[in-house]
Amino acid sequence: MGKLFGSEIFDPKFILTQIWVLQSGFYLIQFFILTLLNAFFGLHNDLGQIFSDQVFLVQDAYGLVWVLTNILSLPFVCAGIVIVVERTYKCLDFTVTLYLIHLAFVVVYSGIPFNLYWWGMNGILVSVTVLISEYFCMKIEQQEITLTFTSTKSI
């Protein structure tokens, strides 16, 4: 794998491993932040807070916790994408894949989401995640490459 402008070989195992790492990290961060916020607000932990579209009622404490969890996990998700993906042009693909797999889990857990606020919030999360992760990947790719030359012959 050429990290810096080298040719890349299509490796499905590596790509699936990257997806698995990102998805696992996504849910670990979500569950950790959700647990902290539930303890702070005095709420019970519930899988539906992550895997249901019905929690998105802003006037409800569970909805507020859902929104805060997603906002607070955003920097960690972006950092994970930057670390795992490493390439600007792949950020969109991996972010959309992450949220599509999440959508599949939501559909399995609670059915097709019909809540427009849920769709809107997730659309914003995808957009912001892509923009932030692409920005930082681009900054990393644009770093100056220093070359050092050492002579093996003495003059």
pLDDT band with cut points at 50, 70 and 90 for residue 145? confident
From 51, 23, 25, 152, select the one nearest 109 (Cα to Cα).
Answer: 51
Query: pTM score > 0.75 for this model?
Result: yes
Q: Which helix (H) or strand (E) holds 131?
A: helix 116-141
Mean pLDDT of the chain, nearest integer: 88
Between residues 7 and 102, the one the model is more confident about: 102
Residue 87 sits at φ, ψ, to 5 deg, of: -130, 135
Q: Euclidean distance between the first and final Cα of the chain, in Å?
A: 38
- Residue range 45-63: mean pLDDT, rounded: 79
Flag the least confident range among 58-67, 68-77, 124-133, 138-147.
58-67
Produce one character per residue of 9-29: b if its CB has 16 or more CB atoms within 10 Å, e if not. Answer: eeeeeeeeebbeebbebbbeb
pLDDT one-digit tens code per residue, 24-51: 999 999 999 999 999 999 999 888 888 9
Residues 6 or more apart whose CB falls under 8 angstroms from that of 115 comprise: 53, 54, 56
Q: Is the pLDDT of residue 152 over 80?
A: no
Cα(51)–Cα(105) distance, integer angstroms: 7
Q: Is the pLDDT of residue 117 over 80?
A: yes
Given a contact cutoff of 8 angstroms between Cβ atoms, the answer to whether 96 and 126 are in contact is yes
Q: Is the pLDDT of residue 73 over 80?
A: yes
Q: Where are the chain's structural domains?
A: 12-141
